[in-house]
A = this chain, B = another copy of it.
Amino acid sequence: MSWFQDSIMARKGAAKGEARTEHAITEESQGRYHYVYGAFAEPILAVDPGAVISAETHDAFEGAIKTERDLPSEKLNFPFLNPQNGPVWINGAEKGDCLAVHIKSIVPRGPQPRGTTVIMPEFGGLVPTADTALLTQPLPERVKKLEVDAVTGVKWNDRITLPYEPFIGTIGTAPEIEAISSLVPDYYGGNMDLPDVAPGAVIYLPVNTKGAYLFLGDCHAAQGDGELCGVAIEHPTVTTVQVDLIKGWTIRSPRLENESFYMTIGSSRPMEDAARGAYRELIRWMAADFGFEEIDAYMLLTQCGRIRLGNMVDPKYTVGASVLKSIAGTPR
Contacts and interface: CB of A to CB of B under 8 A. Distances in A.
Contacts of A178: 36, 38, 79, 178-181
A309 interface: yes
A122 to B, nearest CB: 11
A230 B305 CA distance: 13
A89 to B, nearest CB: 18
Contacts of A144: 299
A60 to B, nearest CB: 13
Interface string A40-61: 1000000000000000000000
A312 interface: yes
A150 interface: no
Given A134-B128, A178-B180, A222 B139 contact: no
A134 B232 contact: no
Contacts of A230: 302
A162 B142 CA distance: 45
A258 B136 CA distance: 30
Interface string A286-299: 00000000110011
State how many copies of this chain the complex holds: 4
A70 to B, nearest CB: 16
Interface in A257-284: 266, 268-273, 275-277, 279-281, 283
A35 interface: yes
Contacts of A133: 126, 266, 273, 276-277, 279-281
29 contacts: A38-B178, A38-B179, A79-B177, A79-B178, A119-B295, A119-B298, A125-B272, A126-B283, A127-B134, A127-B136, A128-B134, A130-B187, A131-B269, A135-B295, A136-B137, A136-B139, A137-B137, A154-B303, A160-B327, A177-B179, A179-B180, A222-B304, A226-B275, A226-B305, A230-B302, A269-B272, A270-B270, A270-B272, A272-B312
Interface of A: 35-36, 38, 40, 79-80, 117, 119, 124-128, 130-140, 142, 144, 154, 156, 159-160, 162, 176-181, 187, 222-233, 252, 266, 268-273, 275-277, 279-281, 283, 294-295, 298-307, 309, 312, 317, 327, 329
